Amino acid sequence: MRDFGVGFRYLLRGQKWVGGHGRRLGFGLLPGLVTLVLYIGALVGLGYGADDLTAWATPFADDWTSPWQGLFRGALTGLVFAFGLFLAVITFTAVTLLVGQPFYESLSEEVDRSEGGEAPESGLPLWRELWISARDSLRIVLRVAFYGVLLFACGFIPVVGQTVVPAIGFCVSGFFLTEELTAVALQRRRVELKERLGLLRGRRMAALGFGVPLTLAFLVPFVAVFLMPGAVAGATLMARDLCGETAGDGADDDAEEDDRNPSSVVENRM
């Protein structure tokens, strides 16, 4: 559980960093606002059309008597909207990062410089970076959609579907949300998607500690817009840790002890 706390502290440090750089916060809000308007429109449309979609998909229930037809289709409508919301949460970051690629790249580079040293550069032209980002985001969305379908089906299991499945869903969303955000810094380091996923699996609890609270916060309207710049900053700090460029957030608390006992650094890394 210590790694979970480390991931959460990276999230807080990112928000604090942006709070101390007001100009970056202002620029970082623009892509999120544009994406939010688009997503609100899509979710409102889904809300109005979910009943018709459910009725169209369940013609076998047309002859059911009341209240069974209403209960059955009502439950399905709720699941459809929940699935749409699930996809919205996980794709919001990908779309926002794609829309605001130049903003967030610049923000991430400044975080790297503020931590000391030079900001790594991919050396690729902007169009190539956008293509790689869009391609990798699509791969992540497909993975999430696959898990989403499985969780949607498991949602019909009594009790488990209403308790365990939502918890797993938030963990899945949080893990891939962390991947999307750390990709801003890791792509500049020419770290491919497969390797990025491997790095995060090696620090799974830290990834969840960063992504799950953010996923829950993103469920609140407008919160995602204001947290995105800080999330990118925090993810950059985490990416530095994943690449071994820093001792990690938790190491600050133990720095004095590590100086006295160098072997503890190796033990912490294990």
The CA–CA distances, whole Å, from 57 to 53, 61, 62, 74, 136 equal 6, 10, 11, 13, 32
CB atoms within 10 A of CB 252: 11
CA distance 51 to 53: 5
CA distance 258 to 270: 14
CA distance 52 to 68: 17
Name the phi and psi angles at 67, rounded to 5. Answer: -95, 10
209 pLDDT higher than 80: yes
CA distance 132 to 188: 11
Express each pLDDT in 44-81 by its tens digit. 888 888 888 888 887 887 778 778 777 887 888 888 88
CA distance 173 to 83: 12
Express each pLDDT in 166-177 by its tens digit. 889 889 989 999
Q: Which pTM value belongs to this model?
A: 0.73
CB atoms within 10 A of CB 92: 21
Q: How far is CA 43 from the centre of its chain?
A: 19
Any residues with CB less than 8 A from the CB of 151 and at least 6 apart, and which? 86, 165, 168, 169, 172
233 pLDDT higher than 60: yes
9 pLDDT higher than 90: yes
Instruction: Please answer whether residues 191 and 200 qualify as being in contact, where contact means their C-beta atoms are separated by less than 8 angstroms.
Output: no
Q: Which of 227, 18, 5 is CA-nearest to residue 114?
A: 18
Share the mean pLDDT of the chain: 81
248 pLDDT higher than 70: no
Express each pLDDT in 85-141 by its tens digit. 777 776 777 788 888 888 888 889 999 988 876 777 777 787 788 888 888 888 888
179 pLDDT higher than 70: yes
The CA–CA distances, whole Å, from 117 to 110, 114, 173, 191 equal 11, 8, 33, 19
For the ranges 27-36, 66-75, 233-242, the one whose mean pLDDT is highest = 233-242
Q: Which of 96, 227, 250, 235 is CA-nearest to residue 175?
A: 235
162 pLDDT higher than 60: yes
**Can you give the pLDDT at residue 221?**
64
DSSP state of 192: -
Could you tell me the two tokens for 266?
């190796």
DSSP letter for each residue of 132-173: HHHHHHHHHHHHHHHHHHHHHHHTTSTTHHHHHHHHHHHHHH
Q: Confidence class of residue 268 from pLDDT cuts 50, 70 and 90? A: very low
